[in-house]
C-alpha cells in the first residue's frame, strides 16, 4: 500500500512540474503580448 502511495506521489509530483512549467510559459507569453501591443500602439501614435 505504501508502495502504491509512492507511485501516485511520483506521478502527481511529475505532472505538477509539467503543469507549473506550462503555466509559467503561458503567463510570460501573455505578459509579453500585452507589452508588445502597448508598444505597437505607441509606435503607431508616433507615426
Partner 1 sequence: MIGAAVLFLVGAAAYASFYIAPEERTMRVIQRIFYFHAASAWAGMTAFSICFVANLLYVWRRDEKWDSLGVSSAEVGLAFITVVLITGPIWAKPAWGIYWTWDARLTSTFVLWLLYISYLLLRTLIEEPDRRALLSALFGIFAFIDVPIVFGAIRWWRTQHPAPVIMGGPGSGLEPTMRKVFFFSVLALHALMVFLIAERYRLEKLRTDLELVRRELEAT
CB of 17 to partner 1, least distance (A): 5
42 binding partner 1? (CB under 8 A): yes
Distances (CA, A) of 10 to 14, 16, 26, 28, 46: 6, 10, 24, 27, 54
Site for partner 1 in 7-26 (CB under 8 A): 7, 9-11, 13-14, 17-18, 21-22, 25-26
Q: Can you give the binding site for partner 1, defined by CB under 8 A?
A: 2-4, 6-7, 9-11, 13-14, 17-18, 21-22, 25-26, 28-29, 32-33, 35-36, 39-40, 42-43, 46-47
Amino acid at each position: 500500500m505504501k508502495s502504491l502511495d509512492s507511485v501516485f506521489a511520483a506521478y502527481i509530483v511529475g505532472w505538477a512540474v509539467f503543469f507549473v512549467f506550462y503555466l509559467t510559459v503561458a503567463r510570460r507569453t501573455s505578459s509579453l503580448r500585452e507589452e508588445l501591443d502597448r508598444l505597437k500602439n505607441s509606435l503607431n501614435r508616433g507615426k
